[in-house]
Chain A
Amino acid sequence: MTPEFETLWQDFTDGRLDADGFAALERMLRADPALCALAAELYAEHRLIGLALRPDPEGRFAAATVERLAQAGRKFSDQVQLRLGLDRAPRRSLLPRWLPYAVAACLMVAIAAVWRWSPATVAAPVSEHLATLVRAEGCVWDGATGMTAGHRLLAGPLRLSRGQALVRFDGGASALLTGPVDFTVDSAGGATLAHGSVTIRVTEHAAGFTLHTPASEVVDLGTEFAVAVARDGATEIQVLEGEVELHARQQTSRTPRNLRAGQALRLRGADDRDGQPIPFTAERLEVSLGRVAAGPDTGRLLAHESFTYRMSRTFSNQRQADGGSGWQGAWFRNSPQTDLEILFGVDASLEAPAGLVAPAGGRLVLPSEPERPDTYRFACMRRLGTPIDPDVDGTTYVSALINRSTMPAGPTHHWFRFMLVSERVPRDRMGFGVLSDFLPQVTASQGNVSGVAPIVAGRPYLFVAKLVTGHAAPDQMFLKVYDHDQRIDTGEPENWTVIGRTYHLTSRIDAIHIYNGTECSYDVDEIRIGTSWLSVTPRQ
């Protein structure tokens, strides 16, 4: 469940969803059958809570039901006599004749369309990413190397000897760690602080967060609190905004203690049930973040293509379209049997959102079937100079400007795909695109996930994808789509447009495929592949 869904769902069950919220919830449920199945479970539980809590004097329902029959206008005994008469002679069914057929048809549909909590084709992951290291300034990690901004985190310890790190949990909370700190990621919504200082901020729409310390369990009720644990286990909790529930380890009753904004408490240790008030000294997370200047981007641009070509078309065997950097060979169509052309818009680059380096050169043109027959059949392909090894822990970012240039020329079949593929094992692939309903999508062999806001024709969008790979955890792609007049995040976005399903890529990703079909044309420009967010979203 994403924080966005949790917020919408909470508002739905409490009858507070407005028209826009309903539309957003509808789109999310339609786009993800597993989410829809989960929603049905949650809905059933919600309704059953009401039933379980309802005061229900014994026998009331049965008595009311029998009374209802009596009020039908005929005596109870007359009705029974009528039934006795019907028992002895063939009688006309009181249920519609079509009912058995309708039930059978529905059963067949239900059997044919089996919803599951998770796709059956996804191999069970060894472990699962739960959070993202969003920022790391001057960090010296104890026992870990190579962790930079964008790194996805599994459950486990994070021991920071020095520096400042911002961790964003998949449940929506952010934790600012200031070294030295011994911190453990427990789940998408929980962590343990053995010693050191953290400030936790939970957005209004997030599910909540639980922080375990030697002396207590602190449950966020919105929205920001700071905790410091000394080496001897003494724990100080200071609530900066909102409210927290404090469960002391030695607490005997089930009633937690609530601390509100401005309150601060110290627990001497695990045997301290009540704690003592202390002066309030904590600093807001944003203030602490601002004290430490952001270091230079350490990412590398691995490949770049701005389509600065003088020809409007070329063919695979001509190997003319070999510009840009970080590629192996020229553009070609992904089948040697075809002599289909590859088309460019010369000196017609797409417009980038404000703040990004202005594009130069031209664009890649993917015509529709009515405009150029058959060009949709074979992808435009180019090999990567630096392949991506899915067995290596890392993150790869891909960005591209994408423009849906026309209204569809037909009722169906207007899709677009930008795929990272293994040339040797074509089924090993992951990428992004746009569906027939113009929704952005993350695509992979094990299933697709769609966003909720459609792409509009005639406006270039910036698609930025992040591919997370690793040895111990499944691979996953995240996609952020920016409209032309949207501000581009300077670092990893807090919310992604689409989060793809997890998968295990087994082969090196060594090429990109770009293709569309069939009744809608697309343009592509400024393809960048790099190892950091900033490397693929360069600023002016």
Chain B
Amino acid sequence: MPDSAAIDALVRRVRAGDSESFGELVRAFEWPVRAWITARCPAGADADEVAQLTFVEAFKNIGRYEPGTDFAAWLFTIARYQVMGELTRLRRLADYHERYFPHALALELERRAVSEEPVEEKRLVALRSCLAELGEPARHLLDQRYTHEVPLQRIADGLGRSEGAIKKSLFLIRKKLHECLRRAPGAGAEAGA
């Protein structure tokens, strides 16, 4: 992550018409912003879409940023606005909370979107380390579920196991990752509370 002086220099170059400098800003803040938004977007929201809109809005308003202040805080204010807008949009959908996402959880995510410091990049780094500690069968199962979104029954059929065993395996893997994250310095639950 560039230091604040380097960031401000990039901002000045963007204002002067240097497109590549904006790309550098995006690359510098890509993972903190994507991780923070991903952790707060409810079902039905495309987190990367919201993250892109955050950067688009930042670009459109780059003239409002004052060099010498905190660019990350300014950028995350925009991210909060984008996430709150998405939460509001989804809340207005009929049946959304009865079928897709509990209302109480959506309210808690809103509260966190407003009040919490962004520590998700640290959690993402810690999570990658925790994932690396898993055995290959566990990694394969997570890939099937998260990356390829294969239904549980098909995963079970492919592995010659019962759906119940796959469910329980996923539960245990998630629990292991949760405990690993809690142990990671600066990335545990209290870090974002």
Contact = CB atoms under 8 A, between A and B. Distances in A.
Interface of A: 6, 10, 12-14, 16, 19, 22-23, 25-26, 29-30, 36-37, 39-55, 59, 61-66, 68-69, 76-77, 79-81, 83-84, 86-87, 91, 93-95, 99, 103, 106-107, 109-111, 113, 115-117, 204, 207-208, 219-223, 242-243, 253-256, 258
B115 A110 contact: yes
A39 B24 CA distance: 35
Contacts of B123: 44-45, 48
B144 to A, nearest CB: 10
Contact of A14 (B108, B128, B167, B178): B167
B152 A26 contact: no
B75 interface: no
B34 A207 contact: no
Nearest to B145: A14
Interface residues of B, number: 81
Interface of B: 14-17, 19, 22-23, 26-27, 30, 34-35, 38-41, 47-48, 51-52, 55-57, 59-64, 77, 80-81, 97-99, 102-105, 108-112, 114-115, 120, 123-124, 127-128, 131, 134-137, 142-143, 145-147, 152, 161-162, 164-165, 167-172, 174-175, 177-178, 181, 189-190, 192-193
A310 B171 CA distance: 59
A49 B146 contact: yes
A62 B98 contact: no
Which one of A80, A111, A113, A117 has the highest number of Cβ atoms from chain B below 10 Å of its Cβ? Answer: A80
A49 B114 CA distance: 23
A65 B55 contact: yes
Contacts of B77: 103
Given A48-B120, A54-B147, A94 B61 contact: yes
Q: Which 7 A-B pairs have the closest CB atoms?
A: A254-B135, A44-B39, A110-B115, A29-B104, A106-B114, A62-B26, A80-B17
Contact of B135 (A40, A86, A87, A255): A255
B124 A52 contact: yes
B52 A77 contact: no
B177 to A, nearest CB: 7
B60 to A, nearest CB: 6
Contacts of B172: 207-208, 219, 221
B114 A51 contact: no
Contacts of A208: 168, 171-172, 175
A39 B15 contact: no
A42 B178 contact: yes
B120 to A, nearest CB: 7
Contacts, number: 213
A151 to B, nearest CB: 28
A103 B114 contact: yes
A65 B147 contact: no
15 contacts: A26-B104, A40-B105, A48-B39, A48-B120, A49-B131, A50-B147, A51-B47, A54-B146, A61-B34, A77-B17, A79-B59, A80-B17, A80-B19, A106-B110, A242-B164
A121 to B, nearest CB: 18
Contact of B105 (A39, A68, A80, A111): A39
B131 A52 contact: yes
B23 A62 contact: yes
A80 B114 contact: no
Nearest to B52: A65
Contacts of B19: 66, 76-77, 80
A14 B152 contact: yes
Contacts of A204: 164
Contacts of B104: 26, 29-30, 36
A172 B17 CA distance: 62
B79 to A, nearest CB: 12
Nearest to B164: A222
Which one of A55, A62, A107, A253 has the highest number of Cβ atoms from chain B below 10 Å of its Cβ? Answer: A62
A54 to B, nearest CB: 6
Contact of A83 (B15, B112, B146): B15
A55 B63 CA distance: 34
A41 B164 CA distance: 25
A453 B134 CA distance: 40
A65 B26 contact: yes
Given A43-B105, A53-B143, A222 B15 contact: no
Nearest to A87: B63
Given A40-B105, A40-B108, A254-B135, 19 more contacts: A14-B152, A16-B152, A22-B99, A26-B104, A29-B104, A40-B112, A41-B189, A43-B109, A47-B38, A48-B35, A50-B146, A61-B48, A83-B15, A84-B15, A87-B63, A94-B61, A221-B165, A223-B164, A256-B137
Nearest to A30: B104
Given A95-B81, A255-B136, A44 B120 contact: yes
